[in-house]
Amino acid sequence: MFDALGSFLDRSNLSPHGICLLWRPELIWTHVVSDFVIGVSYFTIPVAMGVFLLKRRDVAFGWMGWAFAFFILACGATHFLAIWTLWVPDYAAEALLKAFTGIGSFITAILLWRLLPHAVALPSPEALRRANAELVDRIRERDAALDALRTAIADREHAEEMLRQTQKMDAIGALTGGVAHDFNNLLGVVIANLDRLARFPLESGAERARSSALTGAERAASLVQKMLAFARRQPLQPTRFGANGLIADLSELLRGALNAVEPPEMTLAPDLWPVRVDANQLENVLLNLAVNARDAMPEGGRATIRTRNVPAAEAAARAGLPAVDHILISVTDQGCGMSPEVSARAFEPFFTTKAVGEGTGLGLSQAFGFAKQSGGHILLDSRPGHGTTVEVYLPRDRDTAVRPASRVSEATAPPPFVPASSFA
């Protein structure tokens, strides 16, 4: 075996390839330069492929790239050996290298043909671009659906919160109305007996006591009326009028309630729709809101009263009202505002942030009850440091008998009630 191998590698009786070229320099160096350039190129290409495959391990069929790299590297080695055999007749080594290269190239060819159907099935760059565009569209649709779902969830939670708040206010109103009704009956008995005592001569001390008791009972009766207003059980005398005229007539009273040199700033819609509500109760609501605005601005500031028409769709979306036209009367102050926790309880009766003895906590609850009993609604928008806006929604009166836009006449209206204090 060793003899056969030695005989195969024996080059003693062989001549270098240059003899075949008669050692002509132009032929020799043409072969040398050509084979050298081809060999260097063949060695460079697999190196570049190897670097690419190492950095891009996600390339499909990467093993095929390594097979090509090995095949090309072997081909390059045969060209370098061809330069060597121009002067040294190592044809046996050249034959072995070519055999090794042939085996490698044959295996690579077989693998390539087996791989060809799978490679053809790979998506083209254009197909990948289209698939990517479709994926982007689906992601956009999914994001839009998620946003819509989040909005729907937020709307549902808001509706549930409003329902819970309404149920709570209804329960408080029922309790307050029942207590106020029974207490009002008891106060009626007390006041009637105090009035009867006035028919009899009393000593000065007894008369003062009777007068003080009567004053206290009347104040208690006024408090009961506010509780009944919140419970929506107070008797109303609705009349048709224009709210702008009523507000204009109240400007001086509002200035006094605000304790301001000038009346509040007014932005009144010139084409405001008429309403049919109790004018005196609306006056009380506006005066209460003015007192609230004053107490919310201890360092001074100017309140603003605005009116405007609210179409049915906006009223339903904004305040959850029936789909009918409403007017909006809003009172805005430049005060300290309320925290969300305080705002959530603002309409509860007897809830107040004022010091003891400075307010009954019935101002906003009375306004809430009046608005609800009149078929409207009241909203509060307040943020700490940004002031407070109270919005009173009242249904539009569509009666064809139009009357001038002014409040009820002074001859028929009782003197306006100015509350001593209310909730801020």
The CA-based dihedral angle spanning residues 104, 108, 114, 118, taken in that order and rounded to the nearest 10 degrees: 150
pLDDT score recorded for residue 227 = 59
Alpha-carbon dihedral sign for residues 222, 397, 331, 340: positive
304, with CB counted inside 10 A (0-12, 13-18, 19+), is middle
pLDDT band at 424 (very low <50, low <70, confident <90, very high): very low
End-to-end CA distance of the chain: 114
**Domains (ranges, CATH) in the chain?**
2-122 (no CATH), 237-424 (3.30.565.10)
| pLDDT over 90 percentage in the chain | 18
pLDDT in tens, 13-44: 778 888 888 888 888 999 999 999 999 998 98
pLDDT band at 4 (very low <50, low <70, confident <90, very high): low
> Does the pLDDT at position 109 exceed 70?
yes
> Does the pLDDT at position 240 exceed 50?
yes
> Does the pLDDT at position 165 exceed 50?
yes
pLDDT band at 420 (very low <50, low <70, confident <90, very high): very low
Diameter over CA atoms, the chain: 163
Residue 306 CA neighbour count, 13 Å, CB half: 11
How many residues belong to the chain?
424
Amino acid found at 359: G
Summarize the confidence of residues 176-193 as an average pLDDT: 65
Query: How many whole angstroms separate alpha carbon 277 and alpha carbon 291?
Result: 22
Contact call for residues 255 and 287 (beta carbons, < 8 A):
no
Summarize the confidence of residues 199-214 as an average pLDDT: 71
Alpha helices in 198-270 (DSSP H): 204-230, 243-249, 251-258
Query: How many whole angstroms separate alpha carbon 123 and alpha carbon 113?
Result: 19
pLDDT score recorded for residue 347 = 80
Tokens of 26: 């132009």
pLDDT score recorded for residue 138 = 93
Summarize the confidence of residues 98-124 as an average pLDDT: 83
3-state DSSP assignment of residue 91? helix
Residue 394 CA neighbour count, 13 Å, CB half: 30
**Which residues make Cβ contacts (< 8 Å) with residue 394, sequence separation at least 6?**
243, 275, 277, 282, 326, 327, 329, 371, 374, 375, 376
More confident residue, 307 or 415: 307
pLDDT score recorded for residue 149 = 93
Query: How many whole angstroms separate alpha carbon 110 and alpha carbon 91?
Result: 28
Residue 310's φ and ψ, nearest 5 degrees, are -120, 110
> Does the pLDDT at position 323 exceed 90?
no
Specify the range with the lowest mean pLDDT, choosing from 121-125, 236-240, 311-315, 377-381: 121-125
> Does the pLDDT at position 384 exceed 90?
no
Residue 124's φ and ψ, nearest 5 degrees, are -75, 165
**Which residues make Cβ contacts (< 8 Å) with residue 385, sequence separation at least 6?**
336, 337
